[in-house]
């Protein structure tokens, strides 16, 4: 990995500055408030909008919110995410060749994040400390200007939505050795004073679990088991 700790493979035949300027120009032509691609399992739960900030309580949710934009061809970045899992990111569909990683921006995290927001569509940030209203306001203004999205792993003042995981469980082989196959978790989305929205999702892939379909399977199993007895 390069000294800038970037996973992204820029075109070596062209000036890095020129390529970044092109991305800045592209971001300036996008409109704040326009939809940002989201994974199908999350589209109904948290439709993301350019110029907004979303707070999450886990790395898996942060990756999931960045994956939709990456799949659609956008550039994404991660700042302060020292435990960034490249394998988990790729499994969700994040294109590593269009991903920029700054695992430890240190005391300059605000300037680094602002620079990433200037050139990337979605930026995931894990702040090193609590964030004040004033600091958050500076980045919020930058997001609206560049029509980017900020996903914060942690607390953030005035976030558009806050996502948390609950009832998380892994499934795998019933007996013996083997790898974990699927993770199921309930995602809770809170937006201001509105009632929270809950959805059951599965990893990898982040697919929606339809409660009615799952209930139907249980009903069929009960009937079959009853006849077998």
| Cis status, amide bond into 204, omega within 30 of 0 | yes
Q: So what's the pLDDT on residue 198?
A: 92
Q: Is 167 left (phi over 0), alpha (psi -120 to 50) or beta?
A: left
pLDDT at residue 6 in the model: 47
Per-residue pLDDT of the chain in tens (229 residues, 90 and over written 9): 333 444 555 566 666 556 666 666 555 555 567 899 999 999 989 999 999 999 999 999 999 999 999 999 999 999 999 999 999 999 999 999 999 999 999 999 999 999 999 999 999 999 988 899 999 999 999 999 999 999 999 999 989 999 999 877 766 544 445 445 688 889 999 998 899 999 999 887 788 887 654 454 444 344 444 444 4
Question: Which pLDDT score is estimated for 30?
Answer: 58
Domains and CATH numbers, the chain: 16-228 (3.40.50.300)
């Amino acid at each position: 990995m390069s000294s800038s700790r970037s996973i992204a493979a820029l075109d070596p035949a062209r000036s890095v500055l020129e390529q970044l300027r092109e991305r800045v120009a592209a971001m300036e032509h996008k409109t704040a408030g326009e939809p940002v691609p989201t994974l199908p399992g999350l589209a109904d739960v948290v439709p993301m909008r350019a110029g907004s900030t979303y707070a999450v309580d886990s790395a898996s949710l942060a990756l999931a919110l960045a994956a939709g934009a990456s799949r659609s061809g956008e550039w994404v970045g991660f700042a302060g995410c020292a435990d960034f899992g490249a394998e988990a990111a790729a499994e969700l569909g994040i294109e590593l060749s269009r991903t920029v990683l700054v695992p430890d921006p240190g005391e300059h995290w605000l300037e680094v994040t602002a620079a990433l927001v200037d050139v990337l569509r979605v930026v995931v940030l894990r702040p090193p400390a609590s964030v004040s209203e004033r600091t958050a306001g500076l980045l919020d203004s930058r997001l609206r200007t560049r029509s980017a999205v900020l996903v914060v792993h942690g607390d953030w003042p005035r976030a558009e939505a806050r996502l948390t995981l609950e009832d998380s469980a892994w499934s795998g082989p019933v007996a013996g050795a083997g790898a974990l196959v699927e993770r199921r978790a309930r995602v809770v989305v809170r937006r201001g004073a509105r009632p929270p929205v809950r959805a059951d999702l599965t990893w990898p892939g982040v697919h929606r679990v339809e409660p009615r379909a799952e209930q139907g399977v249980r009903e069929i199993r009960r009937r079959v088991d009853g006849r077998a007895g």
